[in-house]
Structure 1
């Protein structure tokens, strides 16, 4: 998907000790992927363009992580696929790794979507993402905000809902607790 949009760089999923890549599947076919990066001595990928901003969260004691390489296949239920990937990312990063802050670099045309649908906030001016040679904004949200939205809205999606948020498509609390238990027991 990234190459198709004309972004530079390599877009392969590679093994890395501080990153995990999640795949969403429907009927055995991959319909979405995303990589979750955890802070380490080498930092986050977003540090290449926004280290000054992210360091402010580190200095306040934040445990930072980032979302990268997000792609949804054409024809997939993009809202449900993204909600599923985001919910698993939240569980994995917040519950297993105790992350407090999550960042994502987005192309300007996607900025409003993440602000509206997931409650991300833009941190400053547009910069050039050197990895893909394209304009980007750095967005941030706290894991506390994500947890609050899941508790309030998770599992409440309906065809008649007028809520402009992805959180109703997250799992309801009981299902989320079961998934959390499975993920934590499987990854210990």
Structure 2
């Protein structure tokens, strides 16, 4: 979808504990995806263009910022409930696992109204040009506390289709415990599967001369001072 919109086709999501990707299924087919990135090392994708803005929030006492990246969704317009479930799952995980306080997203300016109306994001700073996708970019911010208030006030309203917001389609607050438990179990199961796969993976084949270089590297690591 990114390539189709002219944003390039070589996007990579870092393989690290700080990035968690959520997928949505529609009729047993992948219909949407979004990645939550947590600012545990002072580096988010949005820092490429907006580090000066993000540093303002980082400097606040008790702050822990995070961002949403790589959103792609391809389902009928009537599937607000699926999109809401995806965003709510990210909120539950990010807030409970990482205690995030501020959520950011970097969007094309023509999508600003969607995030403002649907989730309550507000623009931060001016529009800048993103050379990686050759398109304008706008940073948007949403306090996690505002998400909590919106869920408590609007989740599962009587007539959710009467408003444009996604919050009426969110899960009820009392359902969040069960959802987090399921997410936590899924992560534990995935971690166990990765560990098992690594144990059974074949040893890498060394080219001629590589054994000596590998031994030298291992000696270098063993002898490296702990503060290095």
CA distance in 2, matches of 1:78, 1:128: 32
Q: Does structure 2 retain, via aligned residues, the 8 Å contact 1:128–1:134?
A: yes
CA shift digits 1:49-81 (9 cap, x unpaired) = 000000000000310000000010143744222
CA distance in 2, matches of 1:180, 1:163: 27
After the TM superposition, list the runs of 4 or more consecutive aligned residues in structure 1 that deviate by more than 3 angstroms: 74-78, 184-188
Q: Offset of 1:129 from its aligned partner?
A: 2.1
| Mapping 1:129-144, distance limit 5 Å | 129-144=130-145
Q: Offset of 1:14 from its aligned partner?
A: 5.1
Structure 1 unaligned residues grouped into runs of 5+: none
Q: Offset of 1:134 from its aligned partner?
A: 1.1
Change (3 A) 1:78 1:72: farther
CA distance in 2, matches of 1:14, 1:83: 25
TM-score with structure 2 setting the length: 0.75
SS at match of 2:68: strand
Structure with the greater relative contact order (CA < 8 A, sep ≥ 6): 1 or 2?
A: 1
Q: Offset of 1:143 from its aligned partner?
A: 0.3
RMSD: 1.9
Change (3 A) 1:128 1:105: same
Q: Does structure 2 retain, via aligned residues, the 8 Å contact 1:155–1:173?
A: no
Cross-structure match for 1:70: 71
| Mapping 1:107-186, distance limit 5 Å | 107-156=108-157, 158=159, 161-184=161-184, 186=186
Q: Does structure 2 retain, via aligned residues, the 8 Å contact 1:80–1:169?
A: yes
CA distance in 2, matches of 1:78, 1:43: 33
CA shift digits 1:9-38 (9 cap, x unpaired) = 523555233101100012321110001111
Structure 2 unaligned residues grouped into runs of 5+: 189-228
Give the total of aligned pairs: 187
TM-score with structure 1 setting the length: 0.90
Higher helix share: 2
Q: Does structure 1 retain, via aligned residues, the 8 Å contact 2:57–2:65?
A: yes
Cross-structure match for 2:38: 38
